[in-house]
Chain A
């Protein structure tokens, strides 16, 4: 029973090992020219100091939502592509319906102007 978890343990081992190795090696062989920015904690490009209550443009949310919708589409397409031969015509039609529904959504957001930044 526990054997089946072995690959996961191996994977965790490799991941942890990789992280440790890169940290150690970069410390050992890397150049060190510290600046104020480099020493500051990493915040995905946002300034680390300042008010936390920043207003984001609504457009970011819309783009994020649309991204998720059309990104998930790919997740569904992938397994279908793997099983394409087995599922045959039926699968093809089903997937066509799925894409058509998304297409309706796509036309809708396009015409509504959700894809325009300005």
Chain B
């Protein structure tokens, strides 16, 4: 029985889960602090949450120079996880910055909001550093359950209720697929460790053609594609994105999506490497479908929040292109792209947060008529984010797309790259239309005074800096994304 003790002691390495541990401690402390704060007072909570993120960032960054492994190969804080963690932290931080005034305005100053974001981020971190299917699944659940609550946070709003319930029901359903897939793969290989699965399949090539392996791969893909919001599992996205509180929408479209992508990358490339032929052909089709569906439906939207929701689907499609390429440029392109997308999308949402009035009925194209001249700072910022989302050079969006499409071309998927570029061309139209309304149309109504709240303004400024930094001198971050790869 002594070896039980040994197992327990040897494999524990708190260093490997330090970032998420810190986040959880902060989250729990915040929960307690909240119940002792007077009702409706959430500002101190937001600051504590931000401090928590900064402290976490220090620990997450430590994994870059000094990779940590622990818990019997269940958790690895390697460069890959470290880079992903930074993406999550940025998306959580920008979200928290823009949230406080928003919650006050909408009349839901709920203290649990911030701890839930921290828990969701911790879940995302487990997904990124999980090297075992079970760890990844655990992370996914922590992330998802926090998001279900956050999406339905505005209890009195029908849309928010719908968002929460829809996301919960469909999310739970898709999780079932994922678990079933994990079970099947476990049945084939006898392990849930991602690297061991890869090794097993390498040494037993006969099992590659086994229907159980294929079915397991497909079911796992369904689970992740749902979380990513890829077509044809994207149906939940527009309603949830539109109904959820705006900062949460921003968060969902960046951080958790990146988490699902990086975990998917690890499982596919490390664990199911042998099936690459199968999953690339599957993802090829789905990537094209996702880009096209997202873009084409976005064209028709008049609500900007919903338009960004559909555009978020199409951006998931671009990211999948990198996964299809499955080479160095492509996969590091995913990391880079998700970071870039975090800045440009959260920035755009921060503008929406500031521009909206209570109930956010005015976030339509008509409501944005003449916005650029009435609110010069927000107008310029929004234009920068839209230009970046279009993928026009000097911005992060271009550098990201360049990287991903270069990966696809290098892997020989010329047509995929062509379709991706054509899709970018389609997307120009609806992003451009927002700019057309902002600058070229006469203002339809008299705008109320928009107070430029410090938090949201800071998040806009950070995003603008991020967009230009990644767009003009992307070299350093690109190099880091390449070093982050585990293969």
Contact = CB atoms under 8 A, between A and B. Distances in A.
A86 B5 CA distance: 7
Contact of B8 (A90, A107, A111): A90
Contacts of B4: 83, 86-87
Contacts of A107: 32, 35
A87 B5 contact: yes
B35 A111 contact: yes
Nearest to B9: A90
B9 A104 contact: no
A108 B34 CA distance: 9
Contact of A104 (B1, B8, B28): B28
Contacts of A104: 28, 31-32
A112 interface: yes
A41 interface: no
B36 interface: yes
Given A101-B28, A104-B28, A88 B35 contact: no
A13 B8 CA distance: 40
Given A86-B1, A101-B28, A108 B8 contact: no
Interface in A84-118: 86-88, 90-91, 101, 104, 107-108, 111-112
Contacts of A87: 4-5, 8
A88 B32 contact: no
Given A101-B28, A104-B31, A108-B31, A91 B8 contact: yes
A108 B27 CA distance: 12
Interface string B30-62: 011001100000000000000000000000000
Contacts of B5: 86-88, 90
B210 to A, nearest CB: 25
Contacts of A83: 4
Contacts of B35: 107-108, 111-112
A108 B9 contact: no
Contacts of B36: 111
A108 B35 CA distance: 7
A83 B8 CA distance: 13
A88 B2 CA distance: 11
Given A87-B8, A90-B8, A90-B9, A108 B32 contact: yes
Contacts of B9: 90
Interface in B416-439: none
Nearest to A86: B1
Nearest to B34: A108
A16 B114 CA distance: 54
Contacts of A88: 5
A82 to B, nearest CB: 11
A107 B28 CA distance: 11
Nearest to B5: A86
Contacts of A112: 35
A104 B32 CA distance: 7
Interface in A8-30: none
Nearest to A83: B4
Contacts of B32: 104, 107-108
B27 to A, nearest CB: 10
B288 to A, nearest CB: 44
A91 B35 CA distance: 31
Nearest to B35: A111
A90 B1 CA distance: 15
A99 B8 CA distance: 19
A112 B1 CA distance: 44
Interface in A36-71: none
B33 to A, nearest CB: 11
12 contacts: A86-B4, A86-B5, A87-B4, A87-B5, A87-B8, A90-B5, A90-B8, A91-B8, A104-B28, A104-B31, A104-B32, A108-B31
Interface of B: 1-2, 4-5, 8-9, 28, 31-32, 35-36
Given A86-B5, A107-B35, A111-B36, 18 more contacts: A86-B1, A86-B2, A86-B4, A87-B4, A87-B5, A87-B8, A90-B5, A90-B8, A90-B9, A91-B8, A101-B28, A104-B28, A107-B32, A108-B31, A108-B32, A108-B35, A111-B35, A112-B35
The 4 tightest CB contacts between A and B, nearest first, are A111-B35, A104-B28, A108-B31, A86-B1
